[in-house]
Structure 1
Amino acid sequence: MKVALINENSQAAKNQIIFETLKKVCDSKGYQTFNYGMYGKQGESQLTYVQNGLLASILLNAGAVDFVITGCGTGQGAMTALNSFPGIVCGLAEEPTDAYLFSQINGGNALSIPFAKGFGWGGELNLQLIFERLFAEPMGGGYPKERAVPERCNAGILQKVKAQVYRPLTEVLDRLDPDFVKETIAGEHFAEYFMANAQDGQIKDRIAALLA
């Protein structure tokens, strides 16, 4: 599994501690991790939580990653933004049980975390426990286990509905302000990571043209 971290501007200063914690858990599972920023560096391209949604959609729809970790001050804005874009089912986790239940019941592909609200003493420990429970078992395993079949059915219905009510990402990219998209993909390592891992040729070509 390939897992990406995306931070928006208000919580960019926490990027390194979040990524190191995520990588520690993912390394133990044999997963690859990619830090798409923001990195908390002076002068870097700014990401709002809305751009987190667009960036996550690009990565997931192109097959560059399988799962996205993101967040903002409360986690609410990033979750809302990610769910506004095609190809994403994003949950919100303030503590480890939230992460586990989302992974097992909803089987989504993104998780938003509050990186300011409640992030005090032991904040990095709570993050580690969230990541451990998120990836404890294969996604969509069900909870309780006897509910696995109807839960998978409901998740499948949601995916089918979203496929009908959301425009394909290629159409979304054509409709958005090109400068907005270019700023979203202007991160220091975006081109390096994305071009090496993206699987969808149409999306990859659209992004390559914007990067040129």
Structure 2
Amino acid sequence: MKIALMNEFSQAAKNPVILNELKNATEKHGHTVFNVGMDGDNDHRLTYVHLGIIGAILLNSKAIDFVIAGCGTGQGALMALNAFPGVNCGYCLDPTDAYLFAQVNNGNALALAFAKGFGWGAELNARYMFEKAFEGEKGLGYPPERRESQNANVVILNDMKKAASKPFIEMLKSIDQDLLKQAIDGKRFQECFFKNSKDTQLTDYIKGLLK
């Protein structure tokens, strides 16, 4: 599994801590982590709105399988990611949230709070959240006897979101183009996207924006 981590500007300083815990929890299972957001206060500036855009591009192009995003409360990243088709983002504050999201909702993104409640032992909480999010099989249901109906609801939600949305590239063309270009201008995002994208039409569109 390819996992993208993205921090926005207000929580950029916490990126090394989160990246370290994410790698320690996932790479031993054969997953690959791409650090595509900000990794310091002076890095390419991104807000949680930008995170929603680049997260959606990475997921819809299948360059990435899962996104870990974060802002101060996690709520902004949650809303920005869920604004797009092909993204099912959950809100995670503790390991139980991560486990239940993996088993019940089986989505492809998590939004974490990197300021609210981020105090003593925060790196341990992050580590345990990542372990519960990525260890073992997903979509097993909780409690187990609810698995069939829960998995059916995941499919229904995905179909409903697709029906209620424009085609993805059309959505990108409809949003503020300066905002879009700022979002995709980061070097690490571009490296991850162009190396791993499986959608040639979307790849060509992003290339055209960067000319």
Q: TM-score, normalised by structure 1?
A: 0.97
Alignment match, 2:96: 97
Q: In structure 2, how many angstroms separate the alpha carbons of the residues matched to 1:41 and 1:12?
A: 6
Alignment match, 2:150: 151
User: What is the one-letter code of the residue matched to 1:143?
Assistant: Y
Structure 1 unpaired stretches of 5+: none
Q: In structure 1, how many angstroms separate the alpha carbons of the residues matched to 2:187 and 2:16?
A: 15
Are residues 1:171 and 2:170 paired?
A: yes
Measured after TM superposition, the shift of residue 137 of structure 1 is 2.3
Alignment match, 1:186: 185
Please give the secondary structure, in 2, of the residue aligned with 1:6. strand
User: What is the one-letter code of the residue matched to 1:17?
Assistant: V
C-alpha RMSD of the superposition: 1.0
Q: In structure 2, how many angstroms separate the alpha carbons of the residues matched to 1:41 and 1:127?
A: 21
Q: In structure 2, how many angstroms separate the alpha carbons of the residues matched to 1:190 and 1:154?
A: 32
Q: In structure 1, how many angstroms separate the alpha carbons of the residues matched to 2:85 and 2:61?
A: 11
**How far does the alpha carbon of each residue in 1:161-185 deviate from its partner, in whole angstroms, 9 at most, with x for none?**
0010011210011112221111101
Runs of 4+ in 1 over 3 A off after TM superposition: none
Q: Does the Cα contact within 8 Å between 1:100 and 1:136 map onto a contact in 2?
A: no
Q: Does the Cα contact within 8 Å between 1:65 and 1:197 map onto a contact in 2?
A: yes
**How far does the alpha carbon of each residue in 1:18-58 deviate from its partner, in whole angstroms, 9 at most, with x for none?**
1111011111110011000211142x321111111111100
Q: TM-score, normalised by structure 2?
A: 0.97
Q: In structure 2, how many angstroms separate the alpha carbons of the residues matched to 1:53 and 1:139?
A: 23
After the TM superposition, which of the residue ranges 104-113 and 184-193 deviates more from structure 2?
Answer: 184-193
**Identity across the alignment (%):** 50
Alignment match, 2:25: 25
Measured after TM superposition, the shift of residue 95 of structure 1 is 0.4
How many residue pairs end up in the alignment?
211
Are residues 1:36 and 2:36 paired?
A: yes
Alignment match, 1:11: 11
User: What is the one-letter code of the residue matched to 1:146?
Assistant: E
